[in-house]
Structure 1
Amino acid sequence: MNRGAIARAAAIVAALLLPAGAMAQTLDLHAMSAEIRAGTYKRIEAIRVIQHGRTVFAEDYRGNDAESRIDARSAGKSITAIAVGMAIEDGKIAGVDQPVFAYFKDREPFAHDGPLKRAMTIRDLLTMSSALDCDDWTDASPGNEERMYETRDWTRFALDIPLFAGFARDANGQGRYAYCTAGAFLLGRIVERATGERFDAYVQRRLFDPLRITGANWTRSPSGEVQTGGQLRLRADDFAAIGQLVLSGGAVEGKQIVSRDWLREMLRVRARATPLDGYGYLWWVRDYRVPGDARPWPGFYMSGNGGNKVVLFPDLDAVVVVLSTNYNQRGMHEMTTAPIERHILPALIAAKAR
């Protein structure tokens, strides 16, 4: 994202999040569905579109139905960010500048211990900018998530990751960006230790119950640790409800579930993750574009392997969910971005203009 795009995203976050506007209208996306069924966009399992708080499009594909639970992979990391904010609001975590390793004194000694590791903060993990030599986009990285999955005790694996050689903080106090699932997993363990509740139970009580989300299917390590770095199976409507909660400023049925201030902090761009994407606290930010239209449409989104997306479009008061199982396939994210930009966004823009 360029500076203009980041400034635009920051302005939207500063206004987070506007109340619902006019009555939503049902969107005609039959052409998109025909292309999905014809194989133009492969392995798309479900799409939901919410505008002004109402479902305007809902379709399931490839034998799925409304009760199907899809593994949205790393999109679950964004729920972990919400959980950290709730634990802070509940007074269980003092703030994002708390040192990570202070929560794991019972697991000492740590490999590669020292001042740099001890200085690592919750904020560092939320922004994927810690001193750990952990990069899931680099096969040789000692902290790559695939290595974690080969172990029984994922907490021990994450605590013992070596430090990144030459790690340094910039003028804002932040390290270099490196995508690290093990760091998101550690955040879940911190929430557990701070709240005294198992992570899945805490999230169910504080977040899912108010949204009427049931039957969440969490992946666990061989030793039973909840995978808070992704691999969570929910219904498409459940992901839509989470997106709508964030879009509406953290309130549901008149009750504030998540702090509006936390959501502003969570969505604020902290790093440039790719040439097109900014990164906040385990949430992504990018400008989506309609073919033939120069105007950018900032989207704040959850993202997971397979092309999974839960995108918030504040300018359109809309949430778009695309669940896809193109796991580990080249072009998997383009396969779900394309129907958003070519079909869903134009329909939402047209509805907004009416």
Structure 2
Amino acid sequence: MTIDALPTSTPSAEGIDAAGVEAFLDGLESTPGVEPHSIVLVRHGSVVTQGWWAPYSADRVHLLYSLSKSFTSTAVAFAVDEGLLGLDDTVLSHFPELDADVTDPRSRSMRVRDVLAMSSGHRAEALGRALEADPADLVRGFLLTPPEADPGSVFAYNQPCTYAVAAIVQRASGLSLTEYLRPRLFEPLGIGEASWQRDDSGREIGFSGLHAQTEAVALLGQLWLRRGMWQGRQLLPASYVDEATRVQVANPDEPNADWSQGYGFQFWMARHGWRGDGAYGQFCVVLPEHDVVLALTGQTVDMQAVLDLAWQHLLPAFEGPGDAAADDALARRTAALGLAPLEDDAGAAELRAASFVPTSSSEQPTLTLVGLTDEGSSWRVLLHEGDDVLEAEVVLGAWTVTDALAVTAGRRGAALHVDVVFVETPHRLHLVLDAGAAEVRWETTPLHAPALRQLRAPRDGETSPL
């Protein structure tokens, strides 16, 4: 796949040693607990490396989790430029129907710039408290959860902050975030499919839930690297970009080195450059000093390890000079990327059609039954959630892809091991089927999808609980 909005080049032509990029790939693939899904590397405005680890693919969207926040900040930039809101507006001023309910002076004084910078005055994540205060209207619940400190004075990573500013954009524009961004961002940059999770109120949630292709992440980073300029047009106000990508609030107590360098407007400052990121390894890393954008998707709980690998291998590679032989080796490598399927023990017992009941330790409580059926020419696994059934073909020792699922299986002794990858998300479900029982374990636990059928990009009008 090519990114039509950006030219392609070779690493050495852009002053990059491709051997260092390949060493970065080696590190991603060999570090325990890190599972890469895609990479797009852009330098001097040209794509120099891109690849997807099958069964993930370039044409698929991927759940970005909190990297969605950087797209929300982009929507705010447009709304500020169009006069729909101001950074010094109070949040409450955009919800006048709540004026009588919100009596706490700190809640009343909270500004748009405060919530953009995760400095609402709350000292800890307030999502649970806000939902408890009002399960039906998260903005109201947030404003009814009094901050412990003055807005603008302390940092706390806080989902309702982003939700509130996303709700302001949606109210002021009369459009959902995706509808608002389509003609302003997606179409000018050539970003294709994108969809955003909605809550039961019908709002797109802003702080998470955006599904988009890896190229969208790279294009967003390139727009911000160019301070809002795109192909001769100033799409975003440069003044907003400059504010959003500098420290708005200090956060020295964050435990990881690249999370303790300060926070901007829905962007993290880092030891090198700045970035948007999302749970389990979704990254948009912008390195102005190297004129580089790095877009990554994957699955890990050790996101610092991914950045450490980037600093270790990519920063020296950006010093070049590189050569054609290393370029060619990297191109061959990225063309053949893939996640290993499960191995099959050829001496194991034959497959038999059967049903398996999840054990009491199952990590997916909605899963009520796992079926294995013989269709004559193929085997299929059926995941039952009450009346809902997800179904996919199973081939031993290989991957099969059905809709938003990829499945691999292998026999180990009497047990059949099945991995189900939800390829529009970072997540992989491990099943061990034996003697009528199913052991069910997540590699990484989904954050917003209580049902397996929700582990894909949302369709028009779909909502799901937070």
TM bin (shorter chain): 0.7 to 0.9
**Is residue 124 from structure 1 mapped to residue 106 from structure 2 by the alignment?**
no
User: Structure 1's 246 and 81: CA in aligned 2 closer, same or farther, altered over 3 A?
Assistant: same
In the TM superposition, what are the counterparts of 1:13-32 in structure 2 within 5 Å?
Answer: 24=14, 27-28=18-19, 29-32=21-24
Consecutive unaligned residues in structure 2, runs of 5 or more: 1-11, 254-259, 323-466
Question: Aligned residue for 2:347?
Answer: none
Question: Aligned residue for 1:278?
Answer: 262
Consecutive unaligned residues in structure 1, runs of 5 or more: 1-21, 137-141, 288-297
1:188 and 1:63 map into 2 onto residues whose CA distance is: 33
User: Structure 1's 143 and 34: CA in aligned 2 closer, same or farther, altered over 3 A?
Assistant: closer
Shift of 1:43: 1.8
SS in 2 for 1:210: helix
Shift of 1:351: 4.6
**Is residue 135 from structure 1 mapped to residue 124 from structure 2 by the alignment?**
yes
Shift of 1:211: 0.8
1:319 and 1:235 map into 2 onto residues whose CA distance is: 15
1:41 and 1:244 map into 2 onto residues whose CA distance is: 29
Letter in 2 for 1:267: T
User: Structure 1's 152 and 190: CA in aligned 2 closer, same or farther, altered over 3 A?
Assistant: same
1:337 and 1:250 map into 2 onto residues whose CA distance is: 25
Aligned residues of 1:192 and 1:198 also touching (Cα < 8 A): yes
Shift of 1:135: 2.4
SS in 1 for 2:38: strand
TM-score with structure 1 setting the length: 0.78
- Counting helix residues as a fraction of each chain, which structure ranks higher? 1
**Is residue 183 from structure 1 mapped to residue 161 from structure 2 by the alignment?**
yes
Question: Aligned residue for 2:374?
Answer: none
Question: Aligned residue for 1:85?
Answer: 77
Percent identity over the alignment? 25
SS in 1 for 2:320: helix
Q: Structure 2 residue aligned with 1:334, among 286, 304, 315?
A: 304
Letter in 2 for 1:127: A
User: Structure 1's 77 and 306: CA in aligned 2 closer, same or farther, altered over 3 A?
Assistant: same
TM-score with structure 2 setting the length: 0.60
- Counting strand residues as a fraction of each chain, which structure ranks higher? 2
Aligned residues of 2:280 and 2:298 also touching (Cα < 8 A): yes
Aligned residues of 2:119 and 2:155 also touching (Cα < 8 A): yes
Aligned residues of 1:129 and 1:176 also touching (Cα < 8 A): yes
**Is residue 168 from structure 1 mapped to residue 150 from structure 2 by the alignment?**
yes
**Is residue 241 from structure 1 mapped to residue 219 from structure 2 by the alignment?**
yes
User: Residue by residue, what CA displacement relative to the aligned partner does 1:168-194 show, whole Å, maximum 9, x if unpaired?
Assistant: 36xxxx321111111101101111122
Question: Aligned residue for 1:69?
Answer: 61
**Is residue 305 from structure 1 mapped to residue 283 from structure 2 by the alignment?**
no
Worse overlay, 28-37 or 244-253: 28-37
User: Structure 1's 104 and 56: CA in aligned 2 closer, same or farther, altered over 3 A?
Assistant: same
Structure 1 runs, 4 residues or longer, greater than 6 Å off? none
2:199 and 2:269 map into 1 onto residues whose CA distance is: 30
1:114 and 1:147 map into 2 onto residues whose CA distance is: 18
Q: Structure 2 residue aligned with 1:36, among 28, 37, 54?
A: 28
Q: Structure 1 residue aligned with 2:193, among 199, 215, 218?
A: 215
Question: Aligned residue for 2:204?
Answer: 226
User: Residue by residue, what CA displacement relative to the aligned partner does 1:254-290 show, whole Å, maximum 9, x if unpaired?
Assistant: 1111011110111121122245321111111111xxx
Shift of 1:324: 1.8
Aligned residues of 1:99 and 1:120 also touching (Cα < 8 A): yes
Shift of 1:108: 4.9
SS in 2 for 1:271: coil
Q: CA RMSD in A?
A: 2.6
User: Residue by residue, what CA displacement relative to the aligned partner does 1:74-100 show, whole Å, maximum 9, x if unpaired?
Assistant: 11111211211111111211x211111
Letter in 2 for 1:130: S
Aligned residues of 2:41 and 2:295 also touching (Cα < 8 A): yes
Question: Aligned residue for 1:10?
Answer: none
**Is residue 204 from structure 1 mapped to residue 182 from structure 2 by the alignment?**
yes
1:64 and 1:244 map into 2 onto residues whose CA distance is: 23
Letter in 2 for 1:168: D
1:270 and 1:71 map into 2 onto residues whose CA distance is: 27
2:266 and 2:163 map into 1 onto residues whose CA distance is: 12
User: Structure 1's 110 and 134: CA in aligned 2 closer, same or farther, altered over 3 A?
Assistant: farther
1:323 and 1:90 map into 2 onto residues whose CA distance is: 32
User: Residue by residue, what CA displacement relative to the aligned partner does 1:89-140 show, whole Å, maximum 9, x if unpaired?
Assistant: 11211x21111101111345435x2332211110110111113x4623xxxx
SS in 2 for 1:350: coil
